[in-house]
Structure 1
Amino acid sequence: MSTQEHQADSRPDRPVTVAVLGAGRIALHMADTLAQMSQDPRYQQLVTPYAVASRSLDRAQKLAGDFHFARAYGSYQELLDDPLVDLVYIATPHSLHAEQATACLKAGKHVLVEKAFTLNARQAREVTDLARNLGLLCAEAIWTRYMPSRQLLDSILQSAPIGQVRAASASLCYPTTHKPRMTDLSLGGGALLDVGVYALNFLDMVFGSKPLSRIVSTAAMYPTGVDESNATTLIYEDGSLGQAVSSMSVACDRSGTIWGSQGYIVCTNINNIEAIDIYSSDHRLVHHYPVPEQLTGYEYEVAAAAQAIRAGQSECPQMPHADTVRLMSLMDTLRAQWGLRYPAD
């Protein structure tokens, strides 16, 4: 869509123009996703790739050129000043999310903020409160909450094929200590905000917001002061138990397992579920659920954000503000047990 066409199109159901703030690896994946969505009949009338902004104009121009975005900006302020931008996807380090989401909202832009949403719960509350007060969408872009696999898992749990769910475990680990941002305390480095958030979200998708009676967590610390590996046990008031493990120094099976009174469920790769298998109590495979083919996996969070914008909502039902704040509060509690503080705390 050209600039002139967008200016002339005031329909409430017109495509939402999306800008990417940042030009790193995640920004590249989102730019690729948006380009594919613009060519897919399911999404063509919902979103339009429009702009890329980076502190480096060269990087912004390369990303915009590679994926046919109309605009490239060498500063974030230029993006904020562009009246044609509807939704900004924030793809920068955790430590910048609160500041940049606030700036976008104050400029009248809706925001989709890459996980971890902020560094701590205080920042998360401030950003989500601002979005609600301004009547703008603000959503956390943790893709596993938006994928079809999440709806499939919800449906399976509701049908109770393994009886009463009493426990669950999740692990996600990648050797990433070679990446400078992962070991930088000032950038919110460490395993927790990068991969641990997925393990905790998996447990949250299983157990929801039911109250906790006890949280026990420990971490092995990296020389720079961030968490290298961590393990957490959540004990709920009804006696259910959740276990989450994450690390930035090893590889793991990335599995999510849900244990019930009559069997168990195995989810292959909690970071992007590939299949869900149900087993009986005698370890017999009862049912195998494949997951639908996708473009990249990022399209679902973008589509959800665009649909929420059209509906005049300030949050996405797949990841409401209460869930984002609850998970950030939980991670604050874990870090307090470890003695890990970020400068922004």
Structure 2
Amino acid sequence: MSRFNGKRAEFEASGDKVNVAILGAGNIAHTMADTLTKMAANEQYTNLIHPYAVAARDAARAQAFADQWHLDKAYGSYEELMEDPNVDLVYIATPHSLHAEQAIACMRAGKNVLVEKSFTANTTQARDTLAVAQETGMLCTEAIWTRYMPSRALINEIIGSGEIGEVRSASANLCYPVWKVPRMTDPACAGGALLDVGVYPLNFLDMVLGADHGRTIERISTSMIPHETGVDAQNSTTLYYDDGAMGVATSSMMVSSDRGGYVWGTDGYLMVTNINNPETIDIYDNDHRPVRSVAVPPQLTGYEYEVADAANALLDGKTECEAMPHADTIRIMELMDQIRNVWGLKFPFEA
């Protein structure tokens, strides 16, 4: 068991902080290190978070990372990090195909985990991982930052107010030309656009049109263009909901897109600038006249919300975060499995 799981009173009395470690030392790990550093210096989070350690498969790389971000510890293996009794929360920043194995190992070692999206490579792995969370009592939550951001509530407040009327349709896209990154095209790493960037449009639709508003998906229509390695290079999926609403999600690792999210109602519509990190929410009437623009609150990096939620959840003895409960993670993983099944795309470890 981690030092402070379910021990908020003890934590607050001690004056200690939640020690966060990073498993992996790639690009996204650096973004998290930047986030933790800024949180430690910010009055809102300084009494909650301490940037503590990093682990990589190479000791020199880990030490260079720790030196750059002024971390207390650097480990040349993941196992060493898991053995450190002072690690409270591990952010897993490795390829999707490794998430389940590493999250399970961390939890069995008494570490809470914040697992980068996509949570795992498939639903079977996700269920196995979450079963260990229940078995061990450790926190296990998916680090898909848009679920934790204030923009989520702002968008849903607009929809719930009826300002744009009855919402009947939505679309979202996220495309980045990242196909030159080796893991993105590697089937063994669960590569492809869907699990890396496509997960965001699907989550956007789930929040603005689907489960957040009581709808369930009745059927899907989907297609993709394969990369030469067999993974999806770009794709499009239409979701048909039980009340007749529909949503379209598009993603690609070959091109750039406007990253827009659009929610269409009977009395107007709203546009979200950048579904991957919402910047503004613009509302229009049926004549396409601007009604108003809603600003998203300033942020450190945007990752701070998921870290703070995870830290507070473990202090309260929870195994999941309210913003991204296990049921939501499973629902999105099942949807992505369903989409890949239509395409006939399986990863080598699924054969």
State TM-score, norm by structure 2. 0.94
Q: Which runs of 5+ in 1 are unaligned?
A: 1-8
In structure 2, C-alpha distance between the alignment counterparts of 1:101 and 1:207, rounded to whole Å:
30
Amino acid of the structure 2 residue aligned with 1:152: L
How does 1:13-24 map onto structure 2 within 5 Å? 13=12, 14-24=16-26
**SS of aligned partner of 1:167:** strand
- The alpha-carbon distance between structure 1 residues 266 and 189, as it changes in their structure 2 partners (threshold 3 A), is same
Amino acid of the structure 1 residue aligned with 2:232: D
In structure 1, C-alpha distance between the alignment counterparts of 2:315 and 2:165, rounded to whole Å:
39
How does 1:95-114 map onto structure 2 within 5 Å? 95-114=97-116
Q: Which residue of 2 aligns with 1:286?
A: 291
Deviations 1:112-134 (A, max 9, x none): 00000000011111111210221
In structure 1, C-alpha distance between the alignment counterparts of 2:349 and 2:200, rounded to whole Å:
22
Q: Which residue of 2 aligns with 1:71?
A: 73
Q: Which residue of 2 aligns with 1:300?
A: 305
Deviations 1:4-31 (A, max 9, x none): xxxxx99333421100000000000001
How does 1:87-102 map onto structure 2 within 5 Å? 87-102=89-104
**SS of aligned partner of 1:246:** strand
Among candidates 21, 36, 39, match of residue 38 of structure 2: 36
**SS of aligned partner of 1:223:** coil
Q: Which residue of 2 aligns with 1:253?
A: 258
- The alpha-carbon distance between structure 1 residues 91 and 283, as it changes in their structure 2 partners (threshold 3 A), is same
The more displaced of 107-116 and 289-298 is 289-298
Amino acid of the structure 1 residue aligned with 2:238: T
The more displaced of 98-107 and 202-211 is 202-211
Deviations 1:263-286 (A, max 9, x none): 001000000000001100110111
In structure 2, C-alpha distance between the alignment counterparts of 1:286 and 1:146, rounded to whole Å:
27
| Displacement of 1:151 | 1.7
Q: Which residue of 1 aligns with 2:181?
A: 179
Q: Which residue of 1 aligns with 2:247?
A: 242
Q: Which residue of 1 aligns with 2:3?
A: none
**SS of aligned partner of 1:11:** helix
In structure 2, C-alpha distance between the alignment counterparts of 1:343 and 1:130, rounded to whole Å:
24
Please report the RMSD computed on the Cα atoms of aligned residues, expressed in angstroms. 1.1
Amino acid of the structure 1 residue aligned with 2:68: D
Among candidates 333, 337, 349, match of residue 332 of structure 1: 337
In structure 1, C-alpha distance between the alignment counterparts of 2:181 and 2:35, rounded to whole Å:
24
Among candidates 144, 147, 155, match of residue 146 of structure 2: 144
Q: Which residue of 1 aligns with 2:131?
A: 129
2:10 is the alignment partner of 1:11: yes
Runs (4+) of structure 1 exceeding 3 A deviation are none
Judge conservation of contact 1:167–1:260 (CA < 8 Å) in 2: yes
Q: Which residue of 1 aligns with 2:166?
A: 164
| Displacement of 1:328 | 0.3
Among candidates 199, 202, 208, match of residue 201 of structure 2: 199
The more displaced of 206-215 and 9-18 is 9-18
Judge conservation of contact 1:124–1:325 (CA < 8 Å) in 2: yes
Deviations 1:32-62 (A, max 9, x none): 1101111111001111111000001111111
**SS of aligned partner of 1:329:** helix
In structure 2, C-alpha distance between the alignment counterparts of 1:49 and 1:175, rounded to whole Å:
31
Judge conservation of contact 2:169–2:209 (CA < 8 Å) in 1: no
Judge conservation of contact 2:210–2:241 (CA < 8 Å) in 1: no
Corresponding residue pairs, total: 337
Q: Which runs of 5+ in 2 are unaligned?
A: 1-7
The more displaced of 129-138 and 10-19 is 10-19
Judge conservation of contact 1:119–1:188 (CA < 8 Å) in 2: yes
Among candidates 37, 46, 49, match of residue 48 of structure 2: 46
In structure 2, C-alpha distance between the alignment counterparts of 1:11 and 1:62, rounded to whole Å:
34
Amino acid of the structure 2 residue aligned with 1:99: E
Judge conservation of contact 2:179–2:254 (CA < 8 Å) in 1: yes
Judge conservation of contact 2:171–2:263 (CA < 8 Å) in 1: yes
Q: Which residue of 2 aligns with 1:222?
A: 227
| Displacement of 1:261 | 0.6
Between the aligned residues of both structures, percent identity stands at 58
In structure 2, C-alpha distance between the alignment counterparts of 1:225 and 1:72, rounded to whole Å:
37
Judge conservation of contact 2:173–2:249 (CA < 8 Å) in 1: yes
2:27 is the alignment partner of 1:25: yes
Amino acid of the structure 2 residue aligned with 1:16: V
Q: Which residue of 2 aligns with 1:6?
A: none
Judge conservation of contact 1:304–1:316 (CA < 8 Å) in 2: yes
Amino acid of the structure 2 residue aligned with 1:170: A
2:272 is the alignment partner of 1:267: yes
In structure 2, C-alpha distance between the alignment counterparts of 1:243 and 1:208, rounded to whole Å:
12
In structure 2, C-alpha distance between the alignment counterparts of 1:158 and 1:313, rounded to whole Å:
29
Judge conservation of contact 1:119–1:344 (CA < 8 Å) in 2: no
**SS of aligned partner of 2:207:** helix
**SS of aligned partner of 1:178:** coil
In structure 2, C-alpha distance between the alignment counterparts of 1:25 and 1:167, rounded to whole Å:
35
